[in-house]
A and B are shown apart, each in its own frame.
Chain A
Amino acid sequence: DQQVKQNSPSLSVQEGRISILNCDYTNSMFDYFLWYKKYPAEGPTFLISISSIKDKNEDGRFTVFLNKSAKHLSLHIVPSQPGDSAVYFCAAAGEYGNKLVFGAGTILRVKS
């Protein structure tokens, strides 16, 4: 049973525009959420996170929004750059210590 879902397998965006990646979760015990970025043949790299006590966290071009009542979070990238093309994983934690539960990932393609 998938507790973290990324329903869009892929997303294509024009350079300079906004990229919005979505993630839904089912477990109300999750209280911390992370986004990871992964290039081919490399390991995932941490991008940005948010605690359940917040509804927004911003870091440069990256902003994560959390809607706890909807059990939904999103990652906004503005402006999108070709180097942002990668697989983005949403992850959730909190029920079992440091255990992260990952979504299946969304492939982002930024076209120049």
Chain B
Amino acid sequence: DTAVSQTPKYLVTQMGNDKSIKCEQNLGHDTMYWYKQDSKKFLKIMFSYNNKELIINETVPNRFSPKSPDKAHLNLHINSLELGDSAVYFCASSLDSYEQYFGPGTRLTVT
């Protein structure tokens, strides 16, 4: 009965590859987010979707493309991976409030 789940938990890949991270929430929330936690441990928002509509798009390279097939899912696709993309990526969701519920994170390592 996991509230916000992400797959995979770990992802190791080579530079130049394309990869996807999936996120699902079963809380009935209408807003979902992607965050990146870099090596300095800062959590920074990348994207936010509300009812499948993009509402926040921070300054993120266009190699990153979020896709929301429905309210319960928000996937992150990354093209042409670079070394600097190595980080932990967190998915989160919320319902009409600032309180966001986070998934367990996906540790991406680009070699």
Task: Please report A residues at the B interface, Cβ cutoff 8 Å.
Answer: 32, 34, 36, 41-46, 49, 87, 89, 93, 96-102, 104-105
B45: which of A34, A42, A100 is its contact (CB, 8 Å)?
A100
Beta-carbon contact of A42 and B104 below 8 Å = yes
Known: A34-B99, A44-B43, A104-B42. A98 touches B31 (CB 8 A): yes
B: interface residue count bin:
20 to 34
Beta-carbon contact of A43 and B98 below 8 Å = no
Beta-carbon contact of A44 and B42 below 8 Å = no
Other A-B contacts than A44-B43, A46-B100, A98-B97, 10 sampled, CB-CB below 8 A, are: A32-B98, A42-B105, A43-B102, A43-B104, A46-B101, A93-B98, A96-B56, A98-B48, A98-B94, A102-B42
- Shortest beta-carbon distance, B72 to chain A, in Å? 17
Q: What is the bound-complex CA distance between A42 and B100, given in angstroms?
A: 15
Q: What is the bound-complex CA distance between A89 and B100, given in angstroms?
A: 13
A99: which of B40, B56, B99, B101 is its contact (CB, 8 Å)?
B56
Q: Can you list the 6 inter-chain pairs with the closest CB atoms, starting with the nearest?
A: A43-B102, A102-B43, A93-B98, A44-B102, A43-B104, A32-B98
